[in-house]
Structure 1
Amino acid sequence: MVLTTDVPTREQLVRRASELVPLLRGHAAWAEENRRIHEESIEALAEAGVFRLRTPQKYGGYEADTRTLVEVASELGRADGSTSWVASVYWIPTWMASMFPEHVLDEVFATPDVRICGTLSPTGMASPVEGGVVINGKWGFISGALHAHYQVVVAVLIGGEGQPLPIVTVVPMSDLTVVDDWQTSGLKGTGSVTTIARDLFVPNDRWLPLPVVLQGQAVSESVAGRPIYSAPLLPVASASSVGTLIGLARAAKETFLERLPGRKITYTGYESQAEAPLTHLQVSEAAMKIDQAEFHAHRLASVVDGKGAEGAAWTLEERVRARADMGQVVKLAKEAVDIFAGASGGSSIYSIVPIQRIARDTHAANLHALMHPNTNAELYGRVLCGLEPNTLYI
């Protein structure tokens, strides 16, 4: 295989994502009702190259920088939070899979527009056997599992010599059992089901210690040293995730302003909601929060991309600030969406009005363990106060 020469520019990729908005928006209600992304949406995302953004160029990918991820996900999020979320989730395990040896990459990326799901939670156990390990366990919140070809699995290796070691492997979805348990209040369309491994054998040349992946230490010579694979995982994952929240906040603004003409404020003297000073204050405050969220998203992406291009080492403060930036995007996006939702009136509770789905999706994202604003703010403040981080996930 040779390096891809026809790699779209950021502007081209963002335009492709923008052109998908009507189709994805049209399938948003279906996705929520059926708890999975519509097949036509998956096909459209593949055709637009969305699943290739973090695939190595050697295998037909684009190796897009994280600023591109932010802008593409923001466009997808305008259409449907669940669809954008699944696309963003695929980008992270795809990057993780790229850390593996060449022969693993040859197999995984042989599938055109390969989709890889996964989680960082080590909720499985691995036991050493001759030639490899055997994994048993289950993993929840596996977004996009229903359309994925592979899953990144994290388990704790016990037995043998040394301390328990968290390890990472990439396994075909056909080796796992899928449990359809995704009954939720938000991000319903993501199909974030549970997967189970039972006595799954993994050869020794197909797993890596989790710290190797967390540090972004690619094993394959065709990937090692390339800019997008030269950052630690958590800053990469943070920058990969924030675009969806920007898109949801923009969608809330668009939805509110589209419904504004002709709306009055019931039981008041205002025949037009647009004439009320309260509305002016609400729209201004929410819009400024979106601007602030965009600042944190773009700063985060700029640092990840800049340090990758320079091959520069990350300081501890930079790493935890990456998570803090992500937390601020999530927090500010929710605050903006809440303002627009609160100002949308009683008629907005009907399921045909998009603002209620946007609000529920945004609230669900705020509860994600890695994205939670308070968790990330506390971690950043802890390090600024001179303490060691109390997590490996930095």
Structure 2
Amino acid sequence: MKTIEAPKREDLVRRASDLVPLLQKNALAGEENRRLPQETVDALTEAGILKMRVPHRYGGYESDMRTVVDTLAEIARGDGSAAWTASVWAISSWMVGLFPDEVQDEIFSTPDVRVSGILSPSAMAAPVPGGVVLNGKWSFNSGVQHSQWNTNAAILIGENGEPQPVMVAIPVSDLTIVDDWHTAGLRGTGSVTTIAEDLFVPQERVLPMVPVLQGRHRSVLNAGSPLYSAPFMPTACGTICAPALGLARAAKEAFLERLPGRKITYTAYENQAEAPLTHLQVAEATVKIDEAEFHAHRAAQMVDAKGAAGEEWTLEERARVRLDLGAVTQRAKEAVDLLNTASGGSSIYSSVPIQRIERDVQTINLHAILHPNTNLELYGRIVCGQEPNTVYL
């Protein structure tokens, strides 16, 4: 175990910015192979991106949420799939910090370990002496082919017959991987399906989810860290909104890069940059990107501030983070849609980044946790005095 001085926010963001050319170069290969190129994974690792949510005692940075958001958004400027996968690794590494300390010792004993994970409890856990036996599958398991561990959710039927969600820590080598990631967007994330068949998991690697969702965990050594004072959902939501923000910024950069010398075919405009329509499109997209940034930073600020103060979360505050999450993804997609529409027929070639950015941000908007309509309704229910229709708050 070793403790190192964590880099400042601007240093991590600069490291991420330095990676953008490499990420852009490798993005098409990631799409074609339906997983991140090893060069991309190695670059993220060497830059320390994967240490952001690892405890100090294992050489991690314990970065605050604002740092995580800004760093991951920079990664998304280069490649949405790389940013999404890094987001999943960040959330799952943080989740490991909620397990008993001996489990953390086991997992983080691997240098630069990568942990992926699934929140949806799509497997069953049967209690047996000393632990549980898992059977089931988890789809959308982003980055698992590059990971050593999984933190996956399952349903445990307790002694009283009542089902309860649990999180289990599993070596990826214990799972069967099904290569089924054939998708329209985020193709480079390698979000394949994994299967557990009669898999024994020792009791110390089984974590009840309800206390975790409420901000309680089983780590003694992390008890005093503000990083682990926040409930799971605000932490996860604050993290996973960053790729959408970065993709919106990437779309603006990609559009402006191709703009000089382009004309608007079948019109008198020999230079698209001279058209008032273009001016309006770029300005409106910029406003939407700024709005997405506002919501991403507001969510991050709330997670950081309440964690540092050790304050309890109200139901409305939890729902507001979900609201911010939905707003980031919605505004980002609106900005990308505008710029993609203005990019012309030549933009459909796979070598032109805007079409991949469009597909990636559309895919993010369809994710069950990020879906804007779902998050808007949830917040509206609560401020209108109704009970939430989910435990994922």
Q: TM-score, normalised on structure 2?
A: 0.99
Equivalent residue number for residue 192 of structure 1: 191
Equivalent residue number for residue 166 of structure 1: 165
Superposed counterparts of 1:25-44, under 5 Å: 25-44=24-43
Equivalents in 2 of 1:368, 1:42: separation in Å? Answer: 23
Equivalents in 1 of 2:184, 2:123: separation in Å? Answer: 27
| SS class of match (1:279) | helix
State whether structure 2 residue 178 is matched by structure 1 residue 150: no
Equivalent residue number for residue 281 of structure 1: 280
Equivalents in 2 of 1:381, 1:50: separation in Å? Answer: 35
| SS class of match (1:118) | strand
Superposed counterparts of 1:241-320, under 5 Å: 241-320=240-319
Residues matched between the structures, number:
393
Q: TM-score, normalised on structure 1?
A: 0.98
Q: CA deviation at 1:6?
A: 2.0
State whether structure 2 residue 108 is matched by structure 1 residue 120: no
Equivalent residue number for residue 363 of structure 1: 362
Q: Which residue identity lines up with residue 213 of structure 1 in the other structure?
A: V
The answer on whether the counterparts of 1:100 and 1:208 sit within 8 Å (CA) in structure 2 is yes
Equivalents in 1 of 2:370, 2:158: separation in Å? Answer: 33
Identity of aligned residues (%): 61
State whether structure 2 residue 63 is matched by structure 1 residue 64: yes
Q: CA deviation at 1:205?
A: 2.0
State whether structure 2 residue 246 is matched by structure 1 residue 228: no
Q: Which residue identity lines up with residue 391 of structure 1 in the other structure?
A: T
Equivalents in 2 of 1:219, 1:52: separation in Å? Answer: 21
Q: CA deviation at 1:48?
A: 0.5
| SS class of match (2:296) | helix
Equivalent residue number for residue 78 of structure 2: 79
Q: Which residue identity lines up with residue 90 of structure 1 in the other structure?
A: W
Equivalents in 2 of 1:193, 1:307: separation in Å? Answer: 35
Superposed counterparts of 1:97-108, under 5 Å: 97-108=96-107
Equivalent residue number for residue 109 of structure 1: 108
Q: CA deviation at 1:233?
A: 0.7
Runs of 4+ in 1 over 3 A off after TM superposition: none
The answer on whether the counterparts of 1:32 and 1:188 sit within 8 Å (CA) in structure 2 is yes
| SS class of match (2:112) | coil
Judge which range, 52-61 or 200-209, deviates more: 200-209
Q: CA deviation at 1:194?
A: 0.3
Equivalents in 2 of 1:351, 1:133: separation in Å? Answer: 46
The answer on whether the counterparts of 2:24 and 2:78 sit within 8 Å (CA) in structure 1 is yes
| SS class of match (2:134) | strand
The answer on whether the counterparts of 1:58 and 1:222 sit within 8 Å (CA) in structure 2 is no
| SS class of match (2:140) | strand
Equivalents in 2 of 1:353, 1:299: separation in Å? Answer: 33
State whether structure 2 residue 128 is matched by structure 1 residue 134: no
Superposed counterparts of 1:317-356, under 5 Å: 317-356=316-355
The answer on whether the counterparts of 2:83 and 2:243 sit within 8 Å (CA) in structure 1 is yes
- The answer for unaligned runs of 5 or more in structure 1 is none
Equivalent residue number for residue 11 of structure 1: 10
Equivalents in 2 of 1:216, 1:110: separation in Å? Answer: 25
**Deviations 1:320-370 (CA, angstroms, capped at 9, x unpaired):** 000000000000000000000000001111111110000000000000000
Q: CA deviation at 1:162?
A: 4.5
Q: Which residue identity lines up with residue 286 of structure 2 in the other structure?
A: A
Q: CA deviation at 1:159?
A: 5.1
| SS class of match (1:90) | helix
Equivalents in 1 of 2:370, 2:48: separation in Å? Answer: 26
RMSD: 0.9
Q: Which residue identity lines up with residue 102 of structure 1 in the other structure?
A: D
Q: CA deviation at 1:278?
A: 0.6
- The answer for unaligned runs of 5 or more in structure 2 is none
Q: Which residue identity lines up with residue 233 of structure 2 in the other structure?
A: L
Judge which range, 60-69 or 161-170, deviates more: 161-170
**Deviations 1:11-67 (CA, angstroms, capped at 9, x unpaired):** 111111000011111100000000000101101100011111000001110000110
The answer on whether the counterparts of 1:99 and 1:216 sit within 8 Å (CA) in structure 2 is no
The answer on whether the counterparts of 1:96 and 1:213 sit within 8 Å (CA) in structure 2 is no
**Deviations 1:303-332 (CA, angstroms, capped at 9, x unpaired):** 000000111111100000000000000000
Equivalent residue number for residue 206 of structure 1: 205
